Amino acid sequence: MQSFIAALLNSLDIALLLFVIAVGLNIIFGVLNVINFAHGALYMLGAYFAYTAMGLLGLSFWVALVVAPLLVAVVAIAIERLMLRMVYDRHITDSLLLTFALLLIIDESVRMIWGPSIQVVDPPALLTGTFSVFGVNYPVYGLFVIAVGIAMMLGLWLLFTRTRLGRIVRAAALDREMAQTLGINVPMVITGVFAFGAWIAAVGGVVAAPMRAIGPAMGEKIIIESFIVVVIGGLGSFPGTLLGALVLGFIHGFGGRFLPEINLVLPYIGMALVLLIKPQGLMGKGASA
């Protein structure tokens, strides 16, 4: 029983962190119709900015959690205004290839600035140690990650369903011309959504930093996992992102504990099955050209 509870907590820990990262990818696709390969690189920048803020500037983890995502959002605004805006009217593959190039540019820039070595970020003293959950001693930081994921999920749901800003974003996503006619500044909304998606990715990067080693390749690994999440759940679907993250989290959490020999290949088998049986994802709308 304790082994099951430990696997369940580990699954939720992984799933909700993946949700935080992948939901930004899905929000950007839902509004911009851009499959943002650079999303993983923005997640990585969040982790590196936090590492610099804490290691070199001596700021606390909590200050880094606020500052680093804002800096990444500023980088995202520059990317959207200087590059992405030029390919919105082209085929979707052009934006995909452009963001893939951005991923490589940011990866190499990080390697030049911070070096190829692995870096470590310590969790704040408040979140160290373990906490007993039904007799299982689980890391307090893991419970913090679960709490952040739940808070982010509720916050985004309230934003998009209960606020005027959420209705504006949804209007711009459904019909840009109609939204423009109604007086909505669509270009500003698009820039804001891209920056917001990058901010979410960077929050994920800062939260993940004390759990995972920071290195130049971390963006490539997380973007693969994020794509598995959105492929399983469905491109452009908020509940689909949660479902996909839970599926992948449970595969990692329970598969790693009970099926370690085949655990690494299970996510790819799941993604292949979804693509063959329901290519738009379990709850998705699919991409348009």
Query: Which of 92-101's residues contact partners 24+ apart within 8 Å by CB, and which partners?
Result: 92/33, 92/34, 92/35, 92/287, 92/288, 92/289, 95/32, 95/33, 95/34, 95/35, 95/36, 96/34, 96/35, 96/37, 99/34, 99/35, 99/36, 99/37, 99/38, 99/39, 100/37, 100/38
Q: Count CB-CB contacts under 10 A for residue 97.
A: 13
pLDDT value of position 256: 77
pLDDT value of position 60: 93
pLDDT value of position 143: 93
pLDDT value of position 215: 87
Q: What is the pLDDT along the chain (289 residues), one digit of tens a residue?
A: 778 888 888 899 999 999 999 998 888 888 888 888 899 999 999 999 999 999 888 899 999 999 999 999 999 999 999 998 888 888 888 888 999 999 999 999 999 999 988 888 888 989 988 888 888 888 999 999 999 999 999 999 999 889 999 888 888 888 888 888 888 888 899 999 999 999 999 999 999 999 887 888 888 888 888 889 988 888 778 888 999 999 999 988 888 778 777 778 888 888 898 889 888 888 866 544 4
The structure's pTM equals: 0.90
Q: Which amino acid is at 21?
A: I
pLDDT value of position 287: 47
Question: CA 228 to CA 248: how far, in whole Å?
Answer: 8
